[in-house]
Amino acid sequence: MKKLLSILLILTLSLGLASAALAEKIVVIGQQLGNVVFLPAEVGMRDAGEELGIEVEWQSPLRAEAELQNEIMLSLIDRGDVDGIAISATTGDALKDAIDAAIDAGIKVISYDVDSPNSKREYYVGTENYKVGYQAGEYMIDLYKDSGLEKVRVVQLEGIPGANDIEARKLGFADAIKGTNLEVVYSLPCNDNVDEAINGIEYYTAANAENIDAWYMAGGWPYSVDPSALPEMNAWKLSDPNHKVVTIDIFAETTPGFFELGVLDVAIGQDFYQMGYQCVMTLHKLINGLEVDAPYNEDIGAKFIATGGQIATLENWKEVLGVD
């Protein structure tokens, strides 16, 4: 009897150790804690984790700074219990060494939203940012096709200077409008901060209202809040039918209000829920040696998993955004 109990105890311990060894943990890192852009990504991450029955964890720094993301990456390596990491790199090259160190330590690492193209990561999950910027430029050109303006002066809102996603969107926009009567006359950085974006837009618009024809928002920071936060911008937009606004990003709770007021012409959305969801699904496959259906994208320089999005205009926004 004692021998039987000993055998059962050994089997129980062995199964427990095997279960522990098979435990899988995936961490998804955003750019800034509380950033509204990343809230759907966290939901997508948790839904995927629940569906797969694995442990997932969300981590983000208090501020959108590469140094703070590097600290998170290094701490995850030191923990020794992380199998996979997905990161939206504040600036790609600044995260390269930490990403490479994690991969060298045996952790599967992919990027999403903002890529780190010079790192060892093999997969990028998200938006083709150059194409989105180019698309924004095409919409802006179309908005001015019958304006009669000799020159269209565009002010551009960007996030963190040098960030890979924004630089790609800026380049795409610039290539789209090249050779047209549209010209970017100023680029306003907001460091991925909603308050900085709103304050910068309001101040610049108030000071230069007569010298602006259009705004191109390379990220949707100012449209993540209620329209009442932008009185100067809204007044400028409504003061002239030739004043146009095109933005990247759609926020389900707030973007419709801007269309309702007529102060937004085009919004090109990204699917952050799918980014979080697909990051976990992709890492789970990589960790377990399963096939990932992701063709190599020459422009991105990685195996690419597209997460799609929506395009809303003044003409179709109710249908696109599901507003009655």
How do the pLDDT tens digits run along the chain, 324 residues long?
555 445 444 444 444 433 433 579 999 999 988 788 899 999 999 999 999 999 999 999 998 899 999 999 999 999 999 999 999 998 878 999 999 999 999 999 999 999 999 999 999 999 999 999 999 999 999 999 999 999 999 999 999 888 889 999 999 999 999 999 999 999 999 988 899 999 999 999 999 999 999 999 999 999 999 999 999 999 999 999 999 999 999 999 999 999 999 999 999 999 999 999 999 999 999 999 999 999 999 989 999 999 999 999 999 999 999 998
Q: Does 129-269 carry CATH code 3.40.50.2300?
A: yes
pLDDT value of residue 166: 93
* 3-class secondary structure, 92: helix
Please give the structure tokens belonging to residue 319.
Answer: 């249908």
Predicted TM-score of the model (pTM): 0.87
C-alpha–C-alpha distance, residues 5 and 208, integer Å: 83
CA triplet 278, 270, 192: central angle to 5 degrees?
A: 105
Length of the chain: 324
Please give the structure tokens belonging to residue 70.
Answer: 């590097």
Q: Give the distance between the most distant pair of CA atoms in the chain.
A: 96
pLDDT value of residue 162: 86
If residue 111 lies in a helix (H) or strand (E), which one and from where to where?
strand 108-112
* 3-class secondary structure, 155: strand
pLDDT value of residue 234: 98
Q: What is the DSSP string of 46-69?
A: HHHHHHHT-EEEEE--SSS-HHHH
What is the location of CATH 3.40.50.2300 in the chain?
2-127+272-306, 129-269
H helices present in the chain, as ranges: 2-22, 39-52, 66-79, 92-104, 129-143, 164-177, 194-208, 231-238, 255-261, 272-287, 317-321
pLDDT value of residue 1: 52
- φ, ψ dihedrals at 323, nearest 5°: -100, 130
C-alpha–C-alpha distance, residues 162 and 171, integer Å: 12
Give me Rg for the CA atoms of the chain. 23
Query: Which residue, 89, 87, 131, is CA-closest to 108?
Result: 87
CATH number for region 2-127+272-306: 3.40.50.2300
pLDDT value of residue 91: 85
C-alpha–C-alpha distance, residues 268 and 133, integer Å: 9
Query: Which residue, 112, 51, 62, 61, is CA-closest to 270?
Result: 112
* Sign of CA pseudo-dihedral 207, 210, 216, 217: positive
* Sign of CA pseudo-dihedral 68, 74, 78, 81: positive
